[in-house]
Amino acid sequence: MAHEHKYDANGKQLCCTLEEKINAKTDKSSGCCSTQQDEHNHSDDDGHDHEHNADQSTFKMFLPAIISFVLLIIGIGFDNYFPQSWFTKYVRLAWYIAAYLPVGIPVLKEAFESITKGEVFSEFLLMCIATIGAFAIGEYPEGVAVMLFYTIGEVFQTLAVSRAKSNIKSLLDQRPDEVNIIRDNIVETVKASEVSIGSVIQLKSGEKLGLDGELLSDTASFNTAALTGESKPDTKVKGETVLAGMINGNTIAQVKVTTAYNDSKLSKILEMVQNATTQKAPTELFIRKFAKIYTPIVVFLAVAICLLPYFFVDNYDFNDWLYRALVFLVISCPCALVISIPLGYFGGIGAASKNGILFKGSNFLDSIANIQNVVMDKTGTMTEGVFKVQDVVISDEFKKEEILKMVNALESQSTHPVATAIHDHVGEIDSSIVLENVEEISGHGLKAEINGKELHVGNFKLMDKFGIKYDIDPNSIVYTLIAVAYDKKFAGYLTIADTIKEDAQLTVDKLKAMGVKTTMLSGDKTNVVQFVADKLGIVNAFGDLLPEDKVNKVNEIKAKNESVAFVGDGVNDAPVVALSTVGIAMGGLGSDATIETADVVIQDDRPSKIPMAINIGKQTRKIVWQNIILAFAVKAIVLILGAGGLATMWEAVFADVGVALLAILNAVRIQKMKF
């Protein structure tokens, strides 16, 4: 059956390319990107037959080049410095063929396979024509050198891509391959991928959870730093959800599996990043399309350089013009562009992943670099999303401590976040307080009897409903108010507020320094939103918004032809996240909708990662364009010199492999940058 090329949605060829070969090697050697291994499996219907040892060492990768290099150096020595009478004619040819084969055979094989699959004008073919042609005109050392340096360049490309992939893998390799499950009261060790939903996992102290589940133990403390960046242990209680990658604390815990291995939150994140490079940036797509047109044109130009002078030059020498054509071919090989540019984007994705920022594709690195507006949600994005008591104002007529104990006892009947905030503030519930006739009044609050007297705790609508008079204006106070009345008298109030995140101010300052405009949109009360915005220095802030209102606000900005990044939780804000130029979700492990809707996921909920993501996008774009300009400039100069006979095969090697190596070194630079 004839081979059919594979293409992505943007028309980019996925098979029979140098990029595919590099990716296949790194996938095999690092064990990374397993989701794509079937696609690159070298024994599949694709017809590929490269065999790469899974534990291939760097030395083994360089071994063919080392053998070739040693033979080449000895040969050049015999030619120029230590002449040997026997080193002539067929012996000399055989020596250089022996030097050529270790590095030449794999490329010749690639070229042959590409041709049989219809991909005639590949990087492999250019190298083969140039090197075989060099042998044909007796330039044996140059022929070996071209293939040798091409192979060395390919090894460095493989190592660079492998390094970028390992950065991502090290971030996401947070899940054990095996887990201990309880079966018939016996603990068994099984592969995590084989555990079924409903199984019970037993976690020892310090062990890492392999699958998402529900905690069966009464309480357990988990280290979630690997997933969320939060260093403080997270205490879970019976019935709460725990995620793959969390590390158990000091006690043995039991967890009932609720999600299959491949469907866990961590698996979704892992798959998202592994597939990130399939979403190509416009620059990558352009270079790939350019190379597809450029390579055959160069081949025909090389033929023209070789043959056309016959009709115009008096002392035409076929070997001389063939040599020029071969030089032209080597120079024209687009390796520097085809590999270094995807590597630049992959490096950007790797650098972002290293910092807990997950990009769904390199196209979003490009998009975020051009962002003019960052529109953010308030709760959970710029604030902690955890309510805390700010002030307690109790009338002198009442004993503050007694009132708070009664309020705490009554609020223990509620699961509302406000009740949690009050409990955290007051402390343990006083068991001596007896509640009678407890009643929850929807939209108002709670009511109960204590010592035969009524206690009312809720909003000021509750006070109005029961005709309890109060002497304050609730609208004059920014925070959420909890009014308290005892024995039909207004006793006072508590103010509850969400805490602004520590790095929220730094985030806004950095965005302003970048020239990015900030806007806050929230469904919270307008005066609360405005208060937070004023504190952070955000000029545009709007509250009391429904999801559709947020969509309208973002559309207003986009109507000015300005790009918008929306930052939210990715669940309630899904419509506006989808609408924005770049959708950024905080806390990707919290919800499936976040992973599915957003273009960028910030793992640790820190808003300071927003300007960091923009900066990574800008640095990636800068490096990519540096490589494009470098490759085109050097190639253009040496191409002209080669066509004019002023450049030898050695200059051609630099223009091809040398520029490729420089571009690769430049591309991997981003992985070492501090953001």
Q: Which residues are catalytic?
A: 377
User: Measured between alpha carbons, how far is 559 from 3 in angstroms, rounded to an integer?
Assistant: 47
Contact 342, 286 (CB under 8 A): no
**Cα–Cα distance for residue pair 436/448, rounded to 1 Å:** 6
| Encoded amino acid at 407, one letter | V
Report the C-alpha gap between 418 and 408 in whole angstroms.
11
Q: Any residues with CB less than 8 A from the CB of 400 and at least 6 apart, and which?
A: 392, 394
Question: What distance in Å separates the CA atoms of residue 467 and residue 454, rounded to the nearest whole number?
Answer: 13
- 426 contact partners, CB below 8 Å, separation of at least 6: 404, 405, 407, 408
Q: What is the largest CA-CA distance in the chain?
A: 120
Q: Which residues pair with 496 in a beta bridge?
A: 389, 480
Within 13 Å and on the Cβ side, how many CA atoms surround 668?
18
Residue 463 makes CB contacts below 8 A (sequence gap 6+) with 456, 469, 470, 483, 485, 490
CB-based contacts of 82, cutoff 8 Å, min separation 6: none
CA 192, CA 178: separation in Å to the nearest integer? 5
Q: In whole angstroms, what is the distance from residue 199 CA to residue 214 CA? A: 11
Count of Cβ atoms closer than 10 Å to residue 304 Cβ: 13
CB-CB contact of 212 with 264 (8 Å): yes
Give dist(CA 24, CA 592) in Å, integer.
30
Measure Cα distances from 560 to 349, 555, 556, 583 in Å.
30, 9, 7, 19
Helix intervals (H) in 310-416: 318-332, 335-354, 362-369, 400-411
As a whole number of angstroms, the distance between CA 258 and CA 261 comes to 10
DSSP code per residue over 453-510 = EEEEEE-HHHHHHTT----S-GGG--SEEEEEEETTEEEEEEEEEEEEPTTHHHHHHH
Query: Which H helix or E strand runs over 189?
Result: strand 186-191
The 3-state DSSP class for residue 568 equals strand
Under 8 Å between Cβ of 554 and 584: no
The 8-class DSSP code of residue 515 comes to T
The alpha-carbon radius of gyration of the chain (Å, integer) is 33
